Amino acid sequence: MRMNRPCALLVLLLALLVLSGCATQVKRIEPDEVKDLSGAWNDTDSRLVSEEMIADMLKRPWVGDFRAEKGTRPAVIVGTLRNLSHEHINLNTFVADVERALVNSGRVDFVASAEEREEIRGERVDQDLNAREETRKPMGQELGADFMLKGQINTIIDHASKDQVRFYQVDLTLISLADNRKVWLGQKKIKKFVKRSKLRY
């Protein structure tokens, strides 16, 4: 059976239209572009929290107080950050953000976490056996932390049929290891209204 020209073209066009929906599409976007898909915790939330926390932490008096008293930069260690929310949240990204900004500010020293320390110590034990005398790093010379950063993230979710109000609260606390004093408390709240679709294809 022969099709006339316009008809064949139309079929081709339709086929193209159908097929275009099948291919995987990738569009690059900037890391700071806001793109909310499901309403769950995402990179934008993580960034907003870390930016706010860093700015707040550095302008508070605890750093200056410590320098005035001890004459050195305070050494900080990251303790446990607990996720007490309704979602599985990766807290590592914003801890890394906080750590990077504080170290780069040059006003605070960061001490490796308990997990990282184990690996470094293993390396020192290995150096003790295998490295040349002049390059060997002795044990017992670690920098003890002055403060520990602890925190938690909590959520409150209210819902009615397909609508949700999601409230996130991130609390960070800096505690002095010498005397358990809390020298800084940071808090960031995020609130979202999520309307879920009632219909699908």
Q: Interface with other proteins by CB under 8 A: which residues? A: 38, 82-88, 155, 157, 159-162, 196-201
Cα 101 from Cα 63, distance rounded (Å): 14
Q: How far is the CB of 112 from other proteins (least distance, A)?
A: 22
163 alpha carbon, distance to own chain's centre: 27
In three-state form (DSSP H/G/I as H, E/B as E, the rest C), the secondary structure along 125-159 is HHHHHHCCHHHCCCCCCCCCCCEEEEEEEEEEEEE
Q: How far is the CB of 177 from other proteins (least distance, A)?
A: 22
Buried-exposed string 135-167: b where 16+ CB fall within 10 A, e elsewhere: eeeeeeeeeebbbbbbbbbebeeeeeeeeeebe
Closest to other proteins by CB, 67 vs 159, is: 159
Cα 98 from Cα 81, distance rounded (Å): 13
Closest to other proteins by CB, 25 vs 38, is: 38
Closest to other proteins by CB, 101 vs 157, is: 157
Closest to other proteins by CB, 145 vs 153, is: 153
Closest to other proteins by CB, 102 vs 153, is: 153
**Residue 29 contacts by C-beta under 8 Å, 6 or more apart in sequence?**
35
Q: How far is the CB of 51 from other proteins (least distance, A)?
A: 25
Closest to other proteins by CB, 161 vs 180, is: 161
Q: Left if phi > 0, otherwise alpha if psi is -120 to 50, otherwise beta: which for 140?
A: left
Q: How far is the CB of 130 from other proteins (least distance, A)?
A: 34
Q: How far is the CB of 66 from other proteins (least distance, A)?
A: 31
Q: How far is the CB of 40 from other proteins (least distance, A)?
A: 10
CA distances from 113 to 3, 6, 57 (A): 73, 70, 19
